[in-house]
């Protein structure tokens, strides 16, 4: 643990883990009612363009504001900012229950995105503050698993509430108040924060590892594109293979997505291996999965390939996050976490654009999958090169006469 007098355990881990559900709430719970929202605002100019932004705006805001949230955490502390962000998230999240002006609704979604950026950055930073070694890796890996499992539940909840009205799913945002109670009762501000507040010049003297984190964040953006391609575009692939019933599409997507938490469980058992080896395995699995998706002719083959790709994503995301946070000083941990979160959500925002561009350039959605399979294969080869380089360095260090 990072604190000098308090020991973090299961209550603190769960309190910081559960808010990861807020990262998927913005899109998943509202996706089933998008057609109803389009119908409600059909008389608004360019409604087909503006209304979907109710779903996508929070992700863009997370990408833009995660890094500033991390800077604020390093400069002024974590816990108080986290609690304020969760409160604003709840208030603005449920606001569309009573708002009818589209501009007001969209403004509330901007605030939801900004506060979501703070929540994801600060909870991850606190996990890094409270836990060390394998315990830290366990809780960081579980973030990915919980987010993926909650997406399945939230999709079902959103669809059920959507049968009442298009506004009803927004009520789910009130659940963040329960998560706020967990933060209030089970967490504390790390004692190191007092040192930063009393000596603000100290954090300026700690060098920020731009080169190392820049490379990790670039890989993370690519991995996020792979991860969200399945979440966003699998329905198009299933439709192209003759599956048109929304309930069937939702069920098949949910079933395949369960491979993500399986991948995170595998990471917990393999986390002692070199990062380059984990990246090699993960990208190879993603490449094989997307290749199978591109060539699949039947539903079973398609879903098995999706599960393989999702397993690879479930392995790679905690690998990258724990790699990013490893060895960071307390004074820069918030900024580093914010930068990683920003790169992840940039990948989410870019995923639809990448797949659409590849589809238009090469013919269809399955051609786009093949392009991503090739890109994953190239990433695996680069990871193999990194692994070989590590082996050469280790051999040189142990050779006779080496210093």
CB-count burial class (<10 Å; 0-12, 13-18, 19+) for 323: buried
Predicted local distance difference test score (pLDDT) of residue 397: 47
Distance CA 166, CA 159 (A): 10
Cα 104 to chain centroid, rounded: 27
Q: What is the pLDDT of residue 200?
A: 61
> CA nearest 328: which of 180, 162, 140, 46?
140
- Distance, CA of 252 to CA of 400 (rounded, Å): 57
Packing angle between helix 102-130 and helix 133-162, nearest 10 degrees? 160
Q: What is the pTM of this model?
A: 0.83
For residue 220, give the 3-state DSSP assignment.
Answer: helix
Q: Tell me the angle at which helices 246-257 and 210-240 cross, rounded to the nearest 10 degrees.
A: 140
User: Residue 221: helix, strand or coil by DSSP?
Assistant: helix
The 8-class DSSP code of residue 242 comes to T
CA distance 378 to 272: 24
242 dihedral zone (left: phi>0; alpha: psi -120 to 50; beta): left
Which helix or strand (DSSP H or E) is residue 210 part of? Answer: helix 210-240
Look at the block and give the residue holding tokens 């984990």: 278
Nearest Cα residue to 289 out of 313, 302, 306: 306
Cβ atoms of 376 and 310 within 8 Å: the answer is no
* pLDDT for the residue numbered 199: 60
Q: First and final CA of the chain: distance in angstroms?
A: 34
Note the pLDDT of residue 296: 85
pLDDT truncated to tens, each residue of the chain (403 aa)? Answer: 444 567 888 999 999 999 988 888 877 788 778 888 888 998 888 888 788 888 888 888 998 999 999 999 988 889 999 999 999 999 999 999 999 899 999 999 999 999 999 999 999 999 988 988 888 888 988 887 888 788 778 877 887 888 888 899 999 999 999 999 999 999 998 877 766 666 665 556 677 888 889 999 999 999 999 988 887 777 777 777 777 666 676 677 777 778 888 998 899 888 888 999 999 999 999 999 999 999 988 778 888 999 999 999 999 999 999 999 888 888 888 899 999 999 998 988 888 788 888 888 888 888 999 999 999 999 999 998 887 776 555 444 444 444 3
| Element spanning 47, H or E | helix 47-50
Contact present, 84 and 69 (Cβ < 8 Å) = no
158 Cβ partners below 8 Å, 6+ apart? 28, 29, 30, 31, 32, 33, 169, 172
CB 144 within 8 A of CB 261: yes
pLDDT of residue 107: 95
Nearest-10 Cα torsion for 362, 350, 152, 270: 90
Question: Phi-psi bin for 8: left (phi > 0), alpha (psi -120 to 50), beta?
Answer: beta
pLDDT for the residue numbered 243: 74
């Amino acid at each position: 643990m990072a604190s000098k007098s308090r020991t973090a355990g299961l209550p603190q881990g769960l309190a910081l883990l559960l808010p990861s559900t807020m990262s998927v709430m913005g899109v998943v719970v509202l996706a089933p009612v998008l057609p109803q929202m389009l119908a409600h605002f059909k008389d608004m100019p360019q409604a087909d363009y503006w209304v979907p932004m109710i779903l996508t705006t929070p992700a863009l805001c997370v990408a833009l504001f995660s890094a500033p949230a991390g800077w604020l955490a390093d400069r002024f502390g974590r816990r108080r900012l986290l609690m304020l962000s969760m409160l604003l998230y709840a208030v603005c999240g449920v606001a569309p229950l009573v708002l009818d002006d589209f501009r007001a609704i969209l403004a509330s979604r901007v605030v939801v995105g900004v506060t979501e950026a703070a929540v994801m950055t600060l909870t991850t930073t606190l996990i890094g503050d409270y836990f060390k070694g394998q315990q830290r890796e366990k809780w960081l890996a579980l973030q990915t698993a919980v987010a993926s499992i909650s997406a399945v539940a939230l999709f079902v909840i959103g669809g059920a509430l959507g049968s009442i009205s298009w506004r009803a799913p927004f009520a789910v945002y009130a659940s963040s108040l329960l998560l706020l109670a967990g933060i209030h009762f089970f967490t504390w501000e790390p004692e190191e924060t007092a040192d930063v507040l009393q000596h603000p010049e100290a954090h300026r003297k700690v060098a920020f590892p731009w080169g190392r984190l820049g490379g990790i964040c670039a890989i993370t953006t690519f991995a996020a594109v792979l991860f969200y391609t399945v979440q966003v575009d699998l329905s198009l692939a299933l439709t192209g293979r003759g599956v048109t019933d929304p309930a069937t599409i939702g069920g098949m997507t949910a079933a395949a997505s369960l491979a993500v938490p399986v991948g995170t469980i595998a990471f917990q058992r393999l986390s002692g291996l070199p990062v380059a080896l984990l990246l090699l395995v993960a990208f190879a699995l993603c490449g094989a999965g997307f290749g199978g998706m591109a060539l699949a002719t039947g539903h079973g083959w398609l879903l098995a390939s999706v599960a393989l790709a999702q397993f690879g994503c479930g392995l790679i995301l905690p690998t990258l996050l724990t790699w990013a946070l490893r060895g960071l000083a307390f004074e820069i941990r918030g900024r580093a976490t914010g930068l990683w979160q920003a790169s992840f959500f940039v990948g989410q925002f870019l995923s639809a654009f990448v797949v659409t561009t590849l589809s238009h350039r090469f013919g269809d959605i399955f051609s786009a999958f093949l392009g991503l399979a090739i890109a994953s294969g190239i990433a695996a080869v680069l990871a193999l090169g990194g692994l070989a380089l590590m082996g050469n360095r280790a051999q040189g260090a142990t050779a006779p006469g080496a210093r």
